[in-house]
Structure 1
Amino acid sequence: MSDCSGSSSNFGRLLILLAMATLIGPNPSYGHNGAVAVAHPAQGIQIDGDLSDWPNDLKTYPIAQVEAGDKLAGKDDLGAHFRIAYDTREHALYVAVEAEDDSVVFDGPAEALWNTQDGCELYIDAAHAGGESLAIQYGRYGNQTQAFGPSDDLVKTVKVAVARTGRHVVYEWRVDLGSELRADRSIGFDVSVADKDEDGSFSWIAWGKGTQKLSLPDRCGEALLVSPETRFGEVAGQIEWRVPSQSPLPSRVRIQSSRNARLWREAIVDPTGVYKAALLPAGPYQVGPVDSAELRVDETSHVEVQVEADRIANAEPLQVTPIPWPGLIGSEGVLLDPDALNPSEIDRFVQAYVNYYKIPGISIAIIKDEKVAYHRAFGVKNTATQEPVTDDTVFEAASMTKPVLAYVVLRLVDRGILNLDTPLYTYLPYEDIAHDDRYKLITARMVLTHRTGFPNWRTGKLEIKSTPGTEFTYSGEGFVYLGKVVEHLTEKKLDAICQEEVFTPLGIEDAYLAWDERVARAYATGHRDTLPLPKNKVEAPNMAFSLHIDAQNYAKFLIATVQGKGLSEQTSKEMLRPQVQVPDQKRVSWGLGLSIRETAGRTSYGHGGKNPGFTSRSAYDKDRRWGYVFLINNESADEIENVLAAYLISGKSVLKPDQK
């Protein structure tokens, strides 16, 4: 799935960026999706859509993973494959993509190009530095070429020609990789084809598994740049703890050439500790464990192995050593002791776990007695610049934006401007879903309790997956529609409405719903683990994901919301009343825009968020008047929330034995 929509000035806008904007999601480790292609040298290739000047003996690779959008109607709907070559003299990587498509659409609108017409995308991590480099996305959408990544002039490094004969479409690419284009090495690589049909359906297929390949380079495959004479072998081995441990073993090992640091692969380790990797150029390698935020291990240990052509090389057992937890969590949470909230001790705790989980930066607030009792910022805005996070640094709150719209809606309900159970179409018809008459059932209550039947985000045209009001289906699309209704009823823009209804009356400063010069001065950069990602500069408010804020100001909002400030007593009770149970989560339900969690007889209200490169959490116990908010600029919120909740509330009894 493309990470990009529209022009490079609104990189990552709206739809695809937010396929990840869920409450909770896994933090992947560096690696690959398992797809491997072999690129051989070639000379004299002209980028003109005519492939007659390509070598005849290059292998073709199918592009067949249907990862997003509608299912293909059949083998005639879409089929595609590619071949790949390189020229070290020209510093050029060449890719020829051929598609058979029974319905070609090349004339979509200028905006939101990627899912409105046929297209082809390349993803290239040329440095392939193992967690220290970014992927670049090159896209050809209809008649336009675009490039997305850390630089604004990337489009200058790519040339693509498109040729169509009937249902046969050719995308011929040349990408200038500069000094990174060298033989006998590997690069991160993937390719996808987008198919918009005249009936309105849309499908997105890729060579390697996974979407979001730009912001998640480990979802790319890789290309081996070798000579035709290169011979390949395999490696097999096993890893084990140096000292017996109950912890699961690391999930990956890295197999790196002893001759060339840019020639490496990662192999998945099965639950018994066994790993295998094929298609390795013959030569000496080192095998070592892969450290990750989920399981910290000492990466200095390794074993040597010699790969021989057409044989399986069995490596010696690899013994690994875990990096121990910092500890620092008592038998009881510090919030239970009225005298135990020591700022210097909290500083020590937060810093220790930020270091342990390799989190670039965090903004954290702790609530006690209905007030923000502690607020600090740690780490850096950007690991490349090392600029420190400060108290006024704003982070992407992601889905923690949604309660802000819920609060606005309830303020309008109190004034009789909007009714929770009146179908939204009576206020404002929605052209995007007008093809399904069931949308006329959707109400504000259904949006706020995630029962619209919408998907989280569309990947083609917007569809209703279940009859509105019948099932819990977490959805950002519903909040987009409700935001449009609010703008229509108030005749004001969302940023002005939120300022008037939320931020100003609640005394919240430095809260922004779209990219502007104020955000530009104070924003934290998102990271994938410790790797900076390009900034998504959202040009207009989106009430599902676009809030930028720090933890202290969000904590002010959360306290006021749960305490019912600015709302009538009836409306406040309705907001906090459990209205829908989350499937497969007995202790989790939803009120109006807030998640409700029952833990050990305690009820907390809050929300979480996840955008590419950012995660956040908030929780507030109304009865005990305590809680927390934190925002971080990578995707390790699960780990931090686990230890933070234990430190503040539950104590170490809830942790695993080796985490205490």
Structure 2
Amino acid sequence: MIERSRCLGAALLCLVPASVPLARAAAAQEATPAVAAPVETPARGASVEAPVLTGIIIDGDLSDWPDTIELHPIRNMLDNDLNYSKNGVEEDELATSPDLSAVFSVAYDPDDDLIYLAVIVRDDRVVVGHKGYWDTDAVEIYLDGLFSNTTIPVDVVFGRNDVVDASEVPMEQYLGVPGEGPVYGITRTSGEDRDPVNPILNWGDIAKTRTRMEYHRDGDVTVYEWALQVFDRYPDRPTDLVPGKRIGFDVVVVDKDVPAITDSAEAEPEHARSAWVSWCPGYSGPRFLNAGSIGELVLGSD
């Protein structure tokens, strides 16, 4: 793993290995990573500003990210859903637990119309599964270029997984796992067969986007590095990324500690179910049904 990822992993848990440069080690002495101040007059409960950043290569190596970019904690655990559990970690431990602690940094390139996202996860056990959302570690990204409050009924999606198209859903949901695909066992969407790729666009063809992701793991720290394309409507209306624009945004880390032994999340023993931890607080059902349920990303100026 690159030196910067080691530093970020150390800052995550306030653990400073001897290899960390002195200035970075001093910054890691505090109990929490640096957290950006919220933007002025945020429109939603969770708000973050993305600075302009260019020249990023998506390879899982964060050495081309500036040391000054801020880290944002991912600490809102879903604990009232039968599909998930606390997985041995209480919400107030998510800042320091070696079992699971996560942060992200985010920026954007206005010339390429891409959002850059680095998700850094401290996790003592990595499990990669391919049958469904309940059997694997994962990162989920939610993006709404229209910054809308659009909602759709559950029957638009549930029971129609093979034929529903991403254009019918009010946001993009990108999914990635720390291993080879297929992601979530999805082999057919929009009535078409899909290649077993990693990452994927849920209910869409990621090949019709410019989104890509690479992951890298060193010890117990996994880095997911993303370039993300946002849409006003997939796939024919990409979002123009300009300073001041607000975009619906959320980052979720899914932590599975033991391989799944059943074919459904609810059938898994409670202690063995995945933890689902989001940046945006609150949960009113699946994120992809309600665009107003995610936070906001505000694009900064040069």
What TM bracket, shorter-length normalisation?
A: 0.5 to 0.7
Contact 2:173 2:202 in 1 (8 A): yes
Amino acid at match of 1:146: I
Contact 1:32 1:219 in 2 (8 A): no
Aligned ranges 1:141-540 → 2 under 5 Å: 141=177, 142-143=179-180, 144-148=198-202, 151-153=204-206, 156-177=209-230, 178-198=238-258, 200-209=272-281, 210=283, 211-227=285-301
Contact 2:120 2:221 in 1 (8 A): yes
Please say if 1:49 is aligned against 2:64.
Answer: no
Name which one, 1 or 2, has greater alpha-carbon Rg.
1
1:166, CA displacement in angstroms?
1.2
Partner Cα separation in structure 1 for residue 69 and residue 293 of structure 2: 24
Partner Cα separation in structure 1 for residue 207 and residue 280 of structure 2: 23
Partner Cα separation in structure 2 for residue 192 and residue 138 of structure 1: 10
1:127, CA displacement in angstroms?
2.1
Q: Structure 1 residues 82, 155: closer, same or farther in 2, change over 3 A? A: farther
Partner Cα separation in structure 1 for residue 210 and residue 112 of structure 2: 12
Match of 1:97 among 107, 114, 119: 119
Please say if 1:118 is aligned against 2:190.
Answer: no
Partner Cα separation in structure 1 for residue 148 and residue 70 of structure 2: 26
Q: Structure 1 residues 32, 203: closer, same or farther in 2, change over 3 A? A: farther
Contact 1:72 1:78 in 2 (8 A): no
Q: How many matched pairs?
A: 194
SS in structure 1 of the partner of residue 289 of structure 2: coil
| Alignment correspondent of 2:170 | 134
Q: Over aligned residues, Cα RMSD in angstroms?
A: 2.3
1:198, CA displacement in angstroms?
2.3
1:53, CA displacement in angstroms?
0.5
Structure 2: unaligned runs, 5 residues or longer: 1-41, 90-96, 152-168, 181-197, 231-237, 260-271
1:70, CA displacement in angstroms?
1.7
Partner Cα separation in structure 2 for residue 148 and residue 169 of structure 1: 22
Amino acid at match of 1:164: R
1:145, CA displacement in angstroms?
1.5
Please say if 1:35 is aligned against 2:95.
Answer: no
Contact 2:106 2:117 in 1 (8 A): yes
Percent identical across equivalent pairs? 32
| Alignment correspondent of 1:532 | none
Q: Structure 1 residues 32, 176: closer, same or farther in 2, change over 3 A? A: same
Partner Cα separation in structure 1 for residue 206 and residue 126 of structure 2: 29
Contact 2:149 2:291 in 1 (8 A): no
| Alignment correspondent of 2:23 | none
Contact 2:148 2:248 in 1 (8 A): no
Amino acid at match of 1:89: D
1:84, CA displacement in angstroms?
0.5
Deviations 1:41-65 (A, max 9, x none): 0011010000110122222111111
| Alignment correspondent of 1:71 | 86
Determine which structure has the larger helix proportion and give its number: 1
SS in structure 1 of the partner of residue 63 of structure 2: helix
Partner Cα separation in structure 1 for residue 70 and residue 113 of structure 2: 21
Q: Structure 1 residues 152, 79: closer, same or farther in 2, change over 3 A? A: same
Q: Structure 1 residues 56, 94: closer, same or farther in 2, change over 3 A? A: same
Q: Please give the TM-score of this superposition, normalised by the length of structure 1.
A: 0.28
SS in structure 1 of the partner of residue 68 of structure 2: coil
Q: Structure 1 residues 173, 85: closer, same or farther in 2, change over 3 A? A: same
SS in structure 1 of the partner of residue 51 of structure 2: strand
Q: Structure 1 residues 32, 134: closer, same or farther in 2, change over 3 A? A: farther
Contact 1:148 1:154 in 2 (8 A): no
Amino acid at match of 1:57: T
Partner Cα separation in structure 1 for residue 227 and residue 127 of structure 2: 23
Amino acid at match of 2:210: T
Partner Cα separation in structure 2 for residue 153 and residue 72 of structure 1: 31
Partner Cα separation in structure 2 for residue 224 and residue 154 of structure 1: 26
1:173, CA displacement in angstroms?
0.6
Deviations 1:381-415 (A, max 9, x none): xxxxxxxxxxxxxxxxxxxxxxxxxxxxxxxxxxx
Partner Cα separation in structure 1 for residue 44 and residue 207 of structure 2: 25
Q: Structure 1 residues 155, 146: closer, same or farther in 2, change over 3 A? A: farther
Partner Cα separation in structure 2 for residue 205 and residue 198 of structure 1: 17
1:72, CA displacement in angstroms?
4.2
Contact 1:159 1:173 in 2 (8 A): yes
SS in structure 1 of the partner of residue 54 of structure 2: coil
Amino acid at match of 1:166: G
Amino acid at match of 1:116: D
Partner Cα separation in structure 1 for residue 175 and residue 206 of structure 2: 14
Partner Cα separation in structure 1 for residue 86 and residue 44 of structure 2: 21
1:137, CA displacement in angstroms?
0.2
Amino acid at match of 2:171: A
Q: Please give the TM-score of this superposition, normalised by the length of structure 2.
A: 0.59
Amino acid at match of 1:204: W
1:118, CA displacement in angstroms?
0.6
Structure 1: unaligned runs, 5 residues or longer: 1-30, 229-660
1:227, CA displacement in angstroms?
1.9
SS in structure 2 of the partner of residue 218 of structure 1: helix
